[in-house]
Amino acid sequence: MSRWAEHPLVLRVVRIVRQSVVWRIVVAAIEIRFYDRALTLAGQAFIALIPLLVVLATWFSSSDSLAVGDWLIERFSLTGPSADAVQSLFGRPPADSGGLTFLSVITVLVSASSFARSVQRTYELAWNLPARGLRRTVNGIEGAFLLLIALILLGYLASLADQLPVGLLITVIAQICTAVPGWWLASWLLLSRRVSWRLLLPGAVVSAVAQVVVTSAGAVYVPHLIERNTERYGVIGVAIALISWLVVLALVIVGSAVVGAQLGAALAEHDERRT
């Protein structure tokens, strides 16, 4: 066995594999503890999301706007027990609930800030950059907020697919055109403006395509996931479905950070060889 390992052809293949971008991505994913970090992000996103939805439900309860529960039911075309469960969890609260409280708003801000810092640290680790101070935190919040806006816009564009001629094609093009600038700017902010725009572009394109694919799959899979978990666990099944889907989205974020960093490093090495 050792003779084969020392064969020139085998050594050459091993050297080529280890120099490839794919191998570097695999190694970087292992070093960053890909799955564990994605689970951490998903948990923090869930902790931030639930208070946010409750606050929004309380806010909209005093207006004639569409309630959060109603919006979720309409967005995922839920019916029957799953719709009732979502309405029970995120429907309009009682009129005498007292409205928004200072503590609820602070809870949302702190949990959202914690999630944003974790996303930023994921990108910094992927690019082998040290953490910075307060300015870094502000940039991280801005970057995470941009990713949230991009996700909302992609979901809205996906809902228009059935209303447009050649809807699917136009929707996919519009989603990619929206997602690429969003990921490009977000990654620049998450890295505290320490990486050039050119090196960030390949990762932004890959991230945008991955997000479009996952968003399209989510429009089909999430309703089924909510219905299945509602049948098994009742109202709590909605929360279980949400955390399951957040894990998928967190895997996309961590994977995008790793792939983008390695593509950027390969592009930088190519530029050095040319000079």
| Average pLDDT, integer, range 193-216 | 89
What pLDDT was estimated at residue 115? 84
Cβ-contact 85, 235 below 8 angstroms: yes
Cα torsion 62, 243, 249, 91 to 10°: value is: -20
**Of 111, 116, 121, nearest to 37 (Cα)?**
121
Cβ-contact 258, 25 below 8 angstroms: yes
Question: What are the pLDDT digits (tens) for 147-204?
Answer: 777 777 776 666 665 565 555 677 778 788 888 988 898 899 888 888 999 999 999 9
Cβ-contact 98, 61 below 8 angstroms: no
Tell me the average pLDDT of the chain. 78
Cβ count within 10 A of residue 113: 16
* Helices 236-274, 21-31: inter-axial angle, 10-degree rounding: 130
Place of tokens 């447009």: 164
Of 6-10, 60-64, 104-108, 178-182, minimum mean pLDDT range? 60-64
Question: What are the pLDDT digits (tens) for 128-154?
Answer: 988 776 666 777 777 777 777 777 777
* AA identity, residue 194: R
Which helix (DSSP H) or strand (DSSP E) does residue 139 occupy?
Answer: helix 134-159
Cβ-contact 122, 257 below 8 angstroms: yes
